[in-house]
Structure 1
């Protein structure tokens, strides 16, 4: 009798393990090791941003970008040819497991051919007001775009704060 009960219990356990609801959870979206590396080199393009002053129109200015690989991530150096005194240096740093990019949670990562799109989200401030920010990075060997959307906690309609659009001018040596 014990042998029979043991066989029934083993069979029941095996059936539970094979049930479809026991399938693996889908992998969480993450930045892959080669994603940011494709940015290394020189780029030319533009920055379009929403003016902080009413009527909050979009303003576009030329921009250049140089990306260098450092131990901790990718260094981005932005320059604006029409405004030589304006520049920005920043980093793109993915966490070890790729779940965050610059401390922003990775919401999605999709790939189509050689183009990767990564969407991140974080709490932020816009013009001194609390908000949720979502940044979409589109990376490929020839094109790099970053678009920042802002949703103010006050409930106003989300808007695009800025968008960078670049095409490659030179790959690294």
Structure 2
């Protein structure tokens, strides 16, 4: 009987410990993304798959936390290509393991005070919609914010930089 009681107690402790850790991870990510609130100016550089060459254009973003939730609204504007403007909602999972459908691989505090969050997911990319592993790297500081998307096509061993947004705070 004592063994069963000990096993149940350990199970409860592990459950509570994991729940607390998940809440802390989620809260830390929310605090990271909260630093992004406001308006940012910058550029988007992307790989044009047709020509194989990078192309850079002006890009701005406004980031807003939605009602103290774990969701953030990213309002993307392109001053010279208004038809490309878009809005997306970024959701941080309650367990702190995902940003949207992207699994968090790492969160690192860099020596210069920046925070780097790396995510991965399976998906499709390219002009012919090839299977690929897609990696996003979010770099966050008080004055600089970037999002880099890299792609590793199925059967390949070299990552391709698909696009990178680089912003600075007004």
TM-score tier (shorter): 0.7 to 0.9
TM-score w.r.t. structure 1 length?
0.76
Matches within 5 A, 1:8-157: 30=25, 32=28, 33-54=30-51, 56-70=52-66, 71-112=69-110, 114-127=113-126, 128-155=129-156, 157=158
Q: Which runs of 5+ in 1 are unaligned?
A: 1-26
Runs of 4+ in 1 over 6 A off after TM superposition: none
Taking structure 2 as the reference length, the TM-score comes to 0.78
CA distance in 1, matches of 2:169, 2:79: 17
- State whether residues 114 and 141 of structure 1, in contact with CA within 8 Å, keep that contact through their aligned partners in structure 2: no
Distance in 1, matches of 2:108 and 2:70, equals 24
- Distance in 1, matches of 2:115 and 2:162, equals 22
Q: Any stretches of 5+ residues in structure 2 without a counterpart?
A: 1-20
Q: Name the SS for the 2:96 alignment partner.
A: coil
Distance 2:132 2:106 in 1: 20
> Over aligned residue pairs, what C-alpha RMSD do you find?
1.9
Once the two structures are superposed, residues 73-132 of structure 1 have per-residue CA deviations (whole angstroms, 9 ceiling, x without a partner) of 110011111112221211221111211111211111011364211000000110211000
Structure 1 pair 87/109, CA: closer, same or farther in 2 (3 Å)?
Answer: same
Displacement of 1:156 after TM fit?
5.6
- Deviation of 1:72 (Å): 4.3
User: As a proportion of its length, which structure holds more helix?
Assistant: 2
Work out the CA distance in 2 between the residues paired with 1:44 and 1:154. 37
Aligned residue in 2 for 1:11 = none
